[in-house]
């Protein structure tokens, strides 16, 4: 669905993708696009998208998506102007790779505009004493309840919930500056904000173009503030699938689009590292069974099966999981049933489930709250954390969408103050399950 969001930035079209669960004998496509980020922007860019102890145990119905609604995980897409906001290196990405020497000499440094007043001015946040486990998604660059509620109010709500991480989107210098200011305020209150950088691929004709645009946005984001974590893209692997496929095999991805997306990701990482060499890189949240994409990046492989291509390295693998997807350790599509956590763990990086949520059409607010903390979501993730190196889980999202948006995913209503049953359930779970 495409909606218009009013904010202090020019009016862009924000597109949020739906995760389609075709739970039948045929193959399954779950092109879920996450709450915190996404792919292309306006018409010129691509659309993007259980432990039982102490928690409610909720059985998952065989199908929980009515025919009239495929179920969605939401994303915000970025305006296509991100590629031209700042001059980026014109080097061939196959040569540039992701390496930035200490001097930065071999990777052209892009001059970013000075951050707006209060934007954080590239302040380096203090080191974290421990990795925060529980978090929440927000949309402070989208308006709605996030404009109605001040950052100070959001901070107090996150503190009350026990959430220590707050994931928000950026897609331009202006949005990066805005989030940097919010991040500085929240850091003083014990909540770590980190950006998910959004960029589509439809306007790019080559991997080099994607790399250059990604470099610019990565540098803009790191210039606005030194974050402990940076997430590069959001669920974009769903945009390069070839038809209604699971995404577990290389040949299930489009070769040309794969190369462009690889360029964007590598460029973002290089842009960040040209400014901040210490921030951890989060590989943009994937979803459903699409981990074949991450496997190719890590192996230097392409969809045609060839190897020896640029290898992408990162620090944390992010994944998204929603109620209609069922058991993350036994997710069944057209290629059979798969343990997604085991596949992700095999990549050798810690896992963040940095979007999890219950579809608004799942049931009553009370049923949604019970599922959220139950044995297919928070309880399961906590129970399996040590087995699969799950370092963080982050609920989608703090506030419901405004009227005309994509639904009531929030822990609070879209007035920014009214708590839903999911709020109390999340808060109680966090308090009784310290990590």
**DSSP conformation letters of 2-54:** EEE---SS---EEE--------SSS--------SS--S--STTS-------TT
pLDDT value of position 406 = 76
Please, which pLDDT band fits residue 407 given cuts at 50, 70 and 90? confident
pLDDT value of position 2 = 27
- Interatomic CA distance for residues 404 and 5, integer angstroms: 10
pLDDT at 94 over 60: no
Ramachandran region, residue 196 (left: φ > 0; alpha: ψ -120 to 50; beta: rest)? beta
Question: Mean pLDDT over residues 277-281, rounded?
Answer: 98
pLDDT value of position 402 = 87
pLDDT at 346 over 60: yes
pLDDT at 40 over 50: no
pLDDT at 61 over 60: no
Cβ–Cβ under 8 Å, residues 302 and 296: yes
- Interatomic CA distance for residues 94 and 61, integer angstroms: 47
Question: Mean pLDDT over residues 237-250, rounded?
Answer: 97
Cβ–Cβ under 8 Å, residues 435 and 379: no
pLDDT value of position 99 = 34
Question: Mean pLDDT over residues 179-192, rounded?
Answer: 98
Question: Mean pLDDT over residues 179-196, rounded?
Answer: 98
Question: Mean pLDDT over residues 241-245, rounded?
Answer: 96
Percent pLDDT > 70 in the chain is 70
Paired sense of beta strands 331-333 and 336-338, if any:
antiparallel
Higher pLDDT, 344 or 407: 344
State the average pLDDT for the chain.
79
Higher pLDDT, 17 or 124: 124
> Which secondary structure element, helix H or strand E, spans residue 279, and what is its range?
none
Question: Mean pLDDT over residues 410-431, rounded?
Answer: 98
CATH number at residue 71: 3.20.20.80
pLDDT at 53 over 50: no
pLDDT at 383 over 50: yes
pLDDT at 332 over 50: yes
pLDDT at 71 over 50: no
pLDDT at 6 over 90: no
Highest mean pLDDT among 26-35, 75-84, 128-137, 141-150: 141-150
* Helix (H) and strand (E) counts in the chain: 12, 12
pLDDT value of position 123 = 54
Closest by Cα among 29, 15, 35 to 360: 35
pLDDT at 213 over 90: yes
Higher pLDDT, 327 or 99: 327
User: Poorest-confidence range of 80-84, 239-243, 331-335?
Assistant: 80-84
- Interatomic CA distance for residues 223 and 271, integer angstroms: 10
> Which secondary structure element, helix H or strand E, spans residue 162, and what is its range?
none
pLDDT value of position 10 = 27
Higher pLDDT, 406 or 323: 323
User: Poorest-confidence range of 103-117, 166-180, 215-229, 231-245?
Assistant: 103-117
Tell me if residue 202 falls in helix, strand or coil.
coil
Question: Mean pLDDT over residues 292-311, rounded?
Answer: 98
Cβ–Cβ under 8 Å, residues 221 and 60: no
Q: Radius of gyration over alpha carbons of the chain, in Å? A: 20
Higher pLDDT, 272 or 98: 272
**Number of compact structural domains in the chain:** 1
pLDDT value of position 272 = 98
- Interatomic CA distance for residues 132 and 104, integer angstroms: 31
Please, which pLDDT band fits residue 260 given cuts at 50, 70 and 90? very high
Question: Mean pLDDT over residues 240-265, rounded?
Answer: 98
pLDDT value of position 87 = 39
Question: Mean pLDDT over residues 6-22, rounded?
Answer: 31
Q: pTM here? A: 0.77
Domain membership of residue 185 as a residue range: 2-432
Higher pLDDT, 432 or 70: 432
pLDDT at 38 over 50: no
């Amino acid at each position: 669905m495409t909606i218009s969001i009013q904010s202090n930035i020019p009016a862009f079209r924000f597109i949020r993708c739906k995760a389609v669960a075709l739970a039948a004998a045929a193959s399954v496509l779950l092109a879920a696009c996450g709450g915190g980020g996404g792919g292309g922007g306006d018409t010129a860019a691509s659309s993007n998208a259980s432990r039982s102890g102490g928690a409610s145990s909720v059985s998952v119905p065989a199908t929980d998506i009515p025919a009239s609604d495929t179920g969605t995980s939401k994303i915000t897409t970025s305006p296509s102007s991100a590629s031209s906001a700042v001059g980026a290196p014109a080097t061939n990405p196959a040569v540039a790779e992701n390496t930035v020497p200490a001097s930065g000499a071999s990777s052209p440094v892009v001059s970013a505009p000075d951050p707006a007043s209060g934007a954080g001015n590239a302040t380096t946040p203090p080191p974290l004493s421990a990795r925060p486990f529980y978090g929440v998604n927000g949309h402070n660059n989208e308006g709605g309840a996030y404009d109605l509620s001040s950052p100070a109010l959001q901070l107090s709500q996150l503190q009350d919930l026990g959430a220590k991480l707050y994931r928000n989107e950026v897609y331009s210098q202006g949005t990066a500056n805005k989030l940097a200011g919010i991040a500085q305020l929240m850091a003083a209150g014990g909540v770590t904000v980190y950006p998910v950088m959004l960029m589509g691929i439809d306007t790019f004709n080559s991997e080099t173009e994607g790399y250059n645009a990604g470099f610019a946005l990565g540098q803009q984001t790191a210039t606005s503030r030194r974050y402990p974590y940076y997430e590069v893209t959001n669920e974009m692997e769903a945009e390069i699938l070839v038809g209604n496929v699971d995404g577990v095999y290389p040949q299930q991805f489009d070769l040309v689009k794969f190369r462009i997306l690889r360029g964007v990701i590598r460029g973002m990482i290089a842009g960040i590292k040209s400014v901040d060499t210490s921030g951890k890189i989060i590989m943009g949240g994937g979803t459903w069974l699409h981990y074949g994409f991450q496997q190719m990046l890590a192996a230097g492989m392409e969809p045609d099966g060839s190897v020896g291509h640029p290898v992408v390295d990162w620090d944390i693998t992010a994944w998204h999981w929603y109620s209609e997807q069922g058991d993350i350790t036994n997710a069944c599509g057209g290629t059979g049933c798969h343990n997604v956590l085991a596949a992700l763990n095999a990549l050798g990086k810690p896992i963040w489930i940095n979007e999890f949520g219950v579809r608004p059409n799942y049931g009553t607010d009370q049923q949604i709250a019970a599922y959220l903390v139950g044995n297919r979501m928070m309880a399961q993730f906590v129970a399996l954390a040590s087995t699969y190196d799950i370092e963080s889980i982050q609920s989608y999202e703090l506030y419901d969408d405004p009227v005309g948006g994509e639904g009531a995913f929030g822990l609070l209503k879209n007035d920014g103050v009214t708590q839903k049953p999911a709020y109390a359930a999340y808060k109680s779970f966090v308090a009784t399950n310290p990590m």
